[in-house]
Structure 1
């Protein structure tokens, strides 16, 4: 059967008090609307269409990699109007369409599939995703008849006193027979307190025509929409806890999940231990047996087995097996650190490849370099990669020893098994097996302190 999805993402979100379109606010490192898109993609949808309006270009830019289509809702005149704006997308299609909102990022693949299967197996023309809540304030109510069949949905502001006591709420998420939906959209009216076209009215229209309407309730957390910064934080906390529990169930130790921040696309293998204060983002992969001591940030990186990281920043890089990083190291994008290496305190690596067993223990900058295996960098070494106009490359062979406070001025090559004397500024190629010294000759002026009257 043909299955498609429509995501409503045109609203401004006034209560967010933000210049950023509401659906682009992030939850666990990913835009809310992209959470919904990715969930629906995992449910084998044939097509996904996003209804956009406020901040349309920004929303397009943030979602364009998802390979979806777009409908434009220039004026936000209600959820029913949003579907009217998507009629061209729906035209000439047969099958079912699911409707979701771009500001409800907690919806799961299991629930989407449950909704679709319930709709198909019950042979419904429309199915509503609902939830039972203690406080239904602000939500549309599911009104059932004496046989407990769905009769209609009434928006909170239009409810009678009796209807306000109902605890079953509308999630704003549905499954429809496409043909029935298209045939009845034009019958919607904006004769209500808000002057808007409610998608909920389609349910009553279909019911009055004798169509079979279904409703399936789910965990209320999954349907939570975000309309304020407070709700954004609440949803973030819920998802963060869920992500942490998933990793812990898979064999990861998280010392304090309330103070650990792991993105939804992060993968972590068993026997890794994560201390509080770590922020792990993007498509990071952390393999087995790693130790992440407190307060590191890792984004879009691959951390191989048995790596130890302390209080450091690693961005878009690859760290090899059994390597140690930090404390206070900064590994910038496009860096590759080999196996059994050491990147110590206050070391910065930028767009460089560091070989196996190489030690860069402290207070060193390496940029735009290829470094071999078994090298040792003394404290205060600087690879001088920028000449004021362009970045230049440094190549260092295997087993090179770089003395403290050395400057390697790129472009330059340091061959294997070389020594660079401490305090040297190297500007020319150093051949294999050589010692390079480039510093002024030491002079001792006897009696100088007494002559200058500086003795204390």
Structure 2
């Protein structure tokens, strides 16, 4: 039997989001809300995770999370207690303890959950949950203790009357349960006036029946923030972005103006890289060591090697090997690949093309569906005419070729190694290696004037 199993509650309809997209699939720092508790459980060593979904969001959630978790459906939204009961069919008797998280609280830290799990397991408690002390108890259940300081119940936000805004202890909706005790007592949760059953009722059930119910206090109230509307979504994202920036700065990344930098949770940045202002590193981008990114760059789902520079440019699903550089004001579209030492200057757009080592395109132009040989120079204004109105065609340029300014390469076409095109040439036929193409349409000539 495993020591732990996990349940993520993700069936809520999220009406306050005012969105056609189910609440738990809204993104924070590039990741869906529901992915945060799932990832947290995996990081905590919980390998078997059940996600409770609704009839309305099951398909969408399952499409995002795939088969890394199991699913049960809460057919009627009757509260968190009812939602948790749906996991019984899969988990009862399968683990010693059950960790329960909500699908809309992405700020809960591993540093808080691991001690909570350890305290629960080491003391053989029936229920342990995370709390914090805050002056703002909105949307939180308040923790009530007796004169001995023992937890006796949680008063849900909807049931709170007569409370002031003094500092108080609130429930963070992070729960650990002993497996046998949980399933034995879950059916005893009373139905509230609104027809729902709350997990928090298990606190009062346990304390009244001499159960071992305890709370672990976290020092950071922000950690327990959940998302119920777009305002809270933005507040949570702001906190998480600051955490991410701090993590990378403490790991050796320089940010002269951190507040203007956006880094998604799935991105990775190497030591001694400098991220300049107004730069976004989003998706699963990987940036190597000793790079300079920005200012005003967007790196999306791209890989950048060591010692690269991307100045005021956009990369989308592109790759730059070590020592490559781009910008300012250039665009690598999906499928662009720059090998080591490639230089692209300003106003260059590249799509589904590979530049071999040392190739250069210093000024404005477009390269699409092409391969550029090592050491080749592409002049300003050069364009691969890859689309004929119906189909895309390839352009292949060999090593150490020289493509003159304003050359139009009408694909499909091949320019051989060491070949040259004259300024303004419109190349409609293959240029053999070492030959010269000039004119409109281009004619093939020898590079020896006397031979012509």
TM-score, normalized by the shorter chain, greater than 0.5:
yes
TM-score interval, normalised by the smaller of the two chains: over 0.9
User: SS state of the match for residue 177, structure 2?
Assistant: strand
Please name the residue that 1:80 is paired with.
81
CA–CA distance in 2 between the matches of 1:302 and 1:166?
47
Please name the residue that 2:149 is paired with.
148
CA–CA distance in 1 between the matches of 2:51 and 2:327?
44
The answer (yes or no) to whether the contact 1:151–1:204 under 8 Å persists in 2 is yes
Please name the residue that 1:179 is paired with.
180
Q: State the shift of 1:85 in Å.
A: 2.0
TM-score, normalised by the number of residues in structure 1: 0.92
Q: Pairwise CA RMSD of aligned residues?
A: 1.7
CA–CA distance in 2 between the matches of 1:255 and 1:16?
35
Q: State the shift of 1:427 in Å.
A: 2.1
Q: State the shift of 1:371 in Å.
A: 0.9
User: SS state of the match for residue 277, structure 1?
Assistant: coil
CA–CA distance in 1 between the matches of 2:209 and 2:166?
27
Please name the residue that 2:64 is paired with.
62
Q: State the shift of 1:163 in Å.
A: 9.4
Kindly indicate whether residue 321 of structure 2 is the aligned counterpart of residue 334 of structure 1.
Answer: no
Please name the residue that 2:273 is paired with.
272
CA–CA distance in 2 between the matches of 1:137 and 1:393?
60
The answer (yes or no) to whether the contact 1:141–1:166 under 8 Å persists in 2 is no
Aligned ranges for residues 96-135 of structure 1 at < 5 Å? 96-135=97-136
Q: State the shift of 1:440 in Å.
A: 6.1
User: SS state of the match for residue 171, structure 2?
Assistant: strand
User: SS state of the match for residue 211, structure 1?
Assistant: coil
CA–CA distance in 2 between the matches of 1:67 and 1:350?
34
Name stretches of at least 5 consecutive residues in structure 2 with no aligned partner: 443-452
Please name the residue that 1:195 is paired with.
195
Please name the residue that 2:388 is paired with.
387
CA–CA distance in 1 between the matches of 2:369 and 2:334?
11
CA–CA distance in 2 between the matches of 1:39 and 1:343?
41
Aligned ranges for residues 297-316 of structure 1 at < 5 Å? 297-316=298-317
The answer (yes or no) to whether the contact 2:135–2:166 under 8 Å persists in 1 is no
Kindly indicate whether residue 264 of structure 2 is the aligned counterpart of residue 260 of structure 1.
Answer: no
CA–CA distance in 2 between the matches of 1:180 and 1:438?
86
The answer (yes or no) to whether the contact 2:255–2:274 under 8 Å persists in 1 is yes
Kindly indicate whether residue 207 of structure 2 is the aligned counterpart of residue 207 of structure 1.
Answer: yes
Q: State the shift of 1:150 in Å.
A: 1.3
What whole-Å deviation, never above 9, does each CA across 1:151-179 have from its counterpart, x for those lacking one? 11121232353698671111111000111
User: SS state of the match for residue 2, structure 1?
Assistant: strand
Q: How many residues align?
A: 439
The answer (yes or no) to whether the contact 1:157–1:193 under 8 Å persists in 2 is no
Please name the residue that 1:453 is paired with.
none
The answer (yes or no) to whether the contact 2:41–2:47 under 8 Å persists in 1 is no
Q: State the shift of 1:354 in Å.
A: 0.3
TM-score, normalised by the number of residues in structure 2: 0.93
1:164–1:237: structure 2 CA closer, same or farther, 3 Å change rule? closer
User: SS state of the match for residue 362, structure 1?
Assistant: coil
What whole-Å deviation, never above 9, does each CA across 1:318-355 have from its counterpart, x for those lacking one? 11222221111110112210122111222111111101
User: SS state of the match for residue 345, structure 1?
Assistant: coil
The answer (yes or no) to whether the contact 1:363–1:380 under 8 Å persists in 2 is yes
CA–CA distance in 2 between the matches of 1:163 and 1:233?
27
Aligned ranges for residues 337-348 of structure 1 at < 5 Å? 337-348=338-349
CA–CA distance in 1 between the matches of 2:227 and 2:258?
23
The answer (yes or no) to whether the contact 1:93–1:179 under 8 Å persists in 2 is no
